[in-house]
């Protein structure tokens, strides 16, 4: 009996060892984000059908949506990347501006948007003296750099955050300071473009609606110029934080159609945006690897497209091509110095510079979307197509829910609409094309993903017709740049 028990025990141990070896070495390992096939991720999606109407123009793309971000110090290499990436402007803090920087930016024809600090209440005399010194500095620099472009000024930063490190005062005091600032700037040059207050994503625009409404109403009551109203957004989803909340802002501003002396109705700006807010500082490794891949590129590009649909006039994100001096994972470079997919995705988006936006249908601007423009001469079309899925993003980076917030919101993540799914196939119908039987049209499609840095994957000629259909398999995540060039 004892011998049988020993044999049975040995059999159990052997079976356990065999089972462990099978699980560890023979069964498929859990796939990490870097090795997941994009085709596998997209196979459960739906066909996405887009229509583009060449005959329906929606105005030129705002030049302010092609803006990059500066860093502390001076970095010639980062300015080169912005220029090569198709950016037209760069946001610079007032205490980081210099003659050396101005010379470099002007040489690359990068227009400066100056962000002026406002951390604590100042009297009218104190604030206008401080801002006057900044303007004197700018005028002095312009004597040496006459081709410097700088006419846009953003005042204050995230005053609506609880215990904000960026503002130490009351709402009323900040409103007064903005008034001192805006009136002083316009007295110096009525063509200066001025805006504030850089409202934060947290606790959110919806939760801060009264603060925003009060500021806009105060500006209107006191005849203060407000050319643009900037906001920040950091979230893995797109619809709730960006599309829906920008609509709330639009509804507020629609009540005051003459608040801007330059534009009439105040413009909306998003001057910080990204897939996530908290890794400052961080190394682009380990828990923050989601910042290195195509998920972020797809999310941020689709966010820009959604914001453009809502009429947002200015868009940029913190961080960028510069070296790590505090922006951490927001940078466009990996720790090995190579560029992340997000840089190439922005490069694709920036192809819209100087183009006229065309009407499109079929996008949900939550998991997939298309934005299309045509050139000034009407002979070429540019389209950017994006495929994204917050739900699958969270499944690949499960630690996100443990650190995303603000507190109390992580339990509701992901917040993507229940029936929103990614695409598995894209079909694009371009109608009312003017090229008729003009011969052959050159078609090209480039892709940004973890293997392609805006690489050509399709290139061919097609017959010119008044209606053209394009279809291709959708990968996930992915950013596509499509161009059509008429003879």
Strands lying side by side in the sheet with 356-361? 453-463, 440-448, 478-485, 380-387, 368-374, 356-361, 46-60, 423-431, 468-473
Q: Are residues 259 and 326 in the same domain?
A: yes
How high is the pLDDT of residue 245?
85
- The Cα 411–Cα 406 span in angstroms is 10
Q: Which of 28 and 225 is assigned the larger pLDDT? A: 225
Q: Are residues 229 and 155 in the same domain?
A: yes
Q: Are residues 131 and 262 in the same domain?
A: yes
Does a structural domain hold residue 22? no
Predicted confidence band at 261 (pLDDT cuts at 50, 70, 90)? very high
Residue with tokens 């505090």, as numbered in its chain: 326
- Least confident range from 90-94, 288-292, 388-392, 444-448: namely 288-292
What DSSP character marks residue 397? -
Q: Which of 454 and 395 is assigned the larger pLDDT? A: 454
Mean of per-residue pLDDT scores for the chain:
86
- Are 271 and 316 a contacting pair, CB within 8 Å? yes
Predicted confidence band at 26 (pLDDT cuts at 50, 70, 90)? very low
Q: Which of 76 and 30 is assigned the larger pLDDT? A: 76
- Residue 228's domain comprises 62-353
**Phi–psi pair at 7, nearest 5 degrees:** -60, -40
Residues 309-324, mean pLDDT to the nearest whole number: 86
Q: Are residues 188 and 296 in the same domain?
A: yes
Does a structural domain hold residue 185? yes
- Among 176, 212, 181, CA closest to 195: 181
Supply the Cα-derived Rg of the chain in whole angstroms. 25
- Least confident range from 33-42, 92-101, 395-404: namely 33-42
How high is the pLDDT of residue 13?
45
Q: Are residues 339 and 395 in the same domain?
A: no
How high is the pLDDT of residue 436?
81
Domain boundary among 318, 353, 388: 353
How high is the pLDDT of residue 334?
81
Question: Residues in the chain, how many?
Answer: 487
Name the β-bridge partners of 382: 373, 483
Does a structural domain hold residue 95? yes
Q: Are residues 349 and 383 in the same domain?
A: no
How high is the pLDDT of residue 204?
52
- Are 86 and 347 a contacting pair, CB within 8 Å? yes
Write out the two tokens for 105: 């930016």
The pLDDT of residue 42 is above 90: no
Q: Which three-class secondary structure string do you get for 129-189?
A: HHHHHHHHHHHHHHHHCCCCCEEEEEECCCCCCCCCCCCECCHHHHHHHHHHHHHHHHHHC
Does a structural domain hold residue 228? yes
Q: Are residues 342 and 427 in the same domain?
A: no
Does a structural domain hold residue 2? no
Measure the N-to-C terminal CA separation of the chain; round to a whole number of Å.
92
How high is the pLDDT of residue 162?
76
How high is the pLDDT of residue 206?
56
- Are 90 and 112 a contacting pair, CB within 8 Å? yes
Does a structural domain hold residue 427? yes
* CATH number, domain containing residue 424: 2.60.40
Q: Are residues 88 and 161 in the same domain?
A: yes
Q: Are residues 384 and 320 in the same domain?
A: no
Does a structural domain hold residue 15? no
Q: Are residues 348 and 419 in the same domain?
A: no
Predicted confidence band at 446 (pLDDT cuts at 50, 70, 90)? very high
| Chain centroid, CA 125 distance in Å | 37
Predicted confidence band at 483 (pLDDT cuts at 50, 70, 90)? very high
Domain boundary among 321, 353, 385: 353
Q: 222-236: per-residue pLDDT in tens? A: 999 999 999 998 888
Does a structural domain hold residue 96? yes
* CATH number, domain containing residue 268: 3.20.20.80
Q: Are residues 277 and 393 in the same domain?
A: no
How high is the pLDDT of residue 320?
78
Instruction: Report in angstroms the alpha-carbon separations of 382 from 52, 122, 348, 360, 429.
Output: 11, 48, 9, 13, 14
Q: Which of 244 and 314 is assigned the larger pLDDT? A: 314
Number of domains comprising the chain: 2
Domain boundary among 353, 369, 388: 353
Q: Are residues 384 and 311 in the same domain?
A: no
How high is the pLDDT of residue 323?
63
């Amino acid at each position: 009996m004892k011998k049988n028990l020993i044999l049975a025990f040995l059999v159990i141990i052997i079976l356990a060892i065999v089972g462990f070896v099978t699980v560890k070495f023979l069964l498929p390992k859990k796939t990490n984000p870097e090795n997941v096939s994009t085709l596998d991720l997209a196979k459960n999606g739906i066909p996405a059908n887009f229509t583009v109407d060449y005959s329906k123009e929606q105005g030129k793309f705002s030049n302010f949506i092609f803006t990059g971000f500066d860093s502390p110090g001076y970095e010639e290499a980062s300015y080169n990347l912005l220029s090569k990436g198709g950016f037209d402007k760069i946001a610079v803090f007032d205490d980081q501006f210099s003659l050396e920087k101005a010379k470099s930016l002007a040489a690359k024809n990068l227009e400066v948007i100056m962000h002026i600090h406002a951390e604590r209440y100042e009297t009218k005399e104190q604030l206008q003296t401080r801002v006057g010194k900044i303007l004197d500095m700018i005028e002095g620099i312009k004597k040496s750099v006459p081709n410097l472009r700088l006419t846009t000024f953003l005042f204050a930063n995230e005053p609506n955050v609880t215990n904000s490190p960026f503002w130490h005062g009351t709402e009323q005091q900040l409103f007064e300071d903005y008034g001192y600032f805006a009136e002083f700037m316009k007295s110096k040059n009525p063509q200066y473009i001025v805006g504030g207050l850089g409202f934060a994503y947290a606790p959110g625009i919806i939760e801060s609606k009264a603060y925003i409404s009060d500021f806009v109403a105060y500006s209107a009551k006191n005849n203060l110029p407000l050319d643009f109203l900037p906001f920040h957004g950091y979230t893995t989803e797109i619809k709730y934080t960006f599309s829906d909340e920008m609509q709330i802002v639009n509804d507020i501003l629609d009540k005051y159609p003459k608040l801007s002396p330059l534009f009439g109705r105040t413009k909306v700006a998003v001057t910080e945006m990204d897939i996530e807010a908290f890794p400052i500082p961080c190394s682009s490794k380990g828990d923050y690897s989601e910042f290195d891949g195509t998920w972020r590129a797809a999310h941020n590009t689709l966010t820009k497209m959604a914001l453009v649909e809502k009429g947002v006039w200015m868009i940029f994100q913190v961080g960028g091509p510069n070296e790590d001096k505090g922006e951490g994972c927001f940078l466009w470079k990996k720790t090995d110095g190579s560029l992340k997919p997000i840089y190439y995705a922005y490069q694709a988006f920036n192809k819209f510079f100087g183009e006229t936006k065309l009407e499109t249908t079929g996008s949900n601007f939550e998991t997939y979307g298309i934005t299309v423009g045509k050139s000034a001469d009407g002979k070429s079309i540019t389209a950017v197509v994006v495929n994204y899925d917050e739900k699958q993003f969270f499944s690949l980076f499960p630690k996100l829910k443990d650190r995303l917030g603000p507190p109390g919101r992580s339990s509701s993540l992901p917040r993507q609409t229940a029936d929103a799914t990614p695409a598995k196939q894209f079909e694009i119908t371009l109608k009312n094309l003017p090229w008729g039987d003009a011969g052959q049209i050159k078609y090209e499609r480039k892709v940004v993903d973890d293997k392609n840095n805006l690489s050509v994957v399709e290139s061919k000629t097609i017959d010119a017709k008044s209606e053209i259909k394009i279809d291709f398999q959708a990968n996930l995540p992915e950013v596509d740049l499509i161009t059509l060039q008429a003879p």
